[in-house]
Chain A
Amino acid sequence: QQQVKQSPQSLIVQKGGISIINCAYENTAFDYFPWYQQFPGKGPALLIAIRPDVSEKKEGRFTISFNKSAKQFSLHIMDSQPGDSATYFCAARISGNKLVFGAGTILRVKS
């Protein structure tokens, strides 16, 4: 019940296209849902985050859509660029700074 399921495992998108990554959860006690971006050799970096009482949040080219009733949330990357090629993780907060992470999506943007 403390899992966060992430899909797809990998994704190839053309430059300028939209990248979409999906996550689903079961535990309704999760109260904060961040997305992280990780480049090889680096730690994850916070991209954008959302609270469950908000259905959508947009920051630049990155948008989170949140469906509380379906217990699903997704990351949309608009106008995807080669520099966006990285591994993306969704996460959910249990308490304090204890996060449960999805398995990750390797995104490759082809130029």
Chain B
Amino acid sequence: KAGVTQTPRYLIKTRGQQVTLSCSPISGHRSVSWYQQTPGQGLQFLFEYFSETQRNKGNFPGRFSGRQFSNSRSEMNVSTLELGDSALYLCASSLESGYNEKLFFGSGTQLSVL
């Protein structure tokens, strides 16, 4: 069974641009979550989607948005990029959403903002 697939693996953008990251969850998984990982702030929750609906949201500005499609694939978008948005963006999927669910992470998209 294929794992969580994130594309692209690396991205370089400049300040002010926007970016879209893609995530394909494990087949059959309906929940997709996004996390940001930086050396300074560690792993921080961005949002979670379940059955095309945003279920949870972290403390990030409105420039960060996401969506989930009917096939459970998800995208996240960051508009008006700032230098501080440079990070590893991780997508995680699980069968359902909630207690005791095992979360499987992809290898992430490394975003560099210049």
Interface residues of A (CB under 8 A from B): 31-32, 34, 36, 41-46, 49, 51, 89, 91, 93-104
Contact = CB atoms under 8 A, between A and B. Distances in A.
Interface in B68-114: 90, 92, 94, 97-108
A34 B103 contact: yes
A32 to B, nearest CB: 6
Question: What DSSP secondary structure best describes chain B's contact surface?
Answer: strand
A98 B108 contact: no
Nearest to B45: A98
23 contacts: A31-B99, A32-B99, A32-B100, A42-B107, A43-B92, A43-B105, A43-B106, A43-B108, A44-B43, A44-B90, A45-B105, A93-B99, A95-B56, A95-B98, A96-B33, A97-B55, A97-B97, A98-B33, A98-B45, A98-B56, A99-B103, A100-B45, A101-B43
Interface of B: 4, 31, 33, 42-45, 48, 50, 55-56, 58, 90, 92, 94, 97-108
A36 B94 CA distance: 15
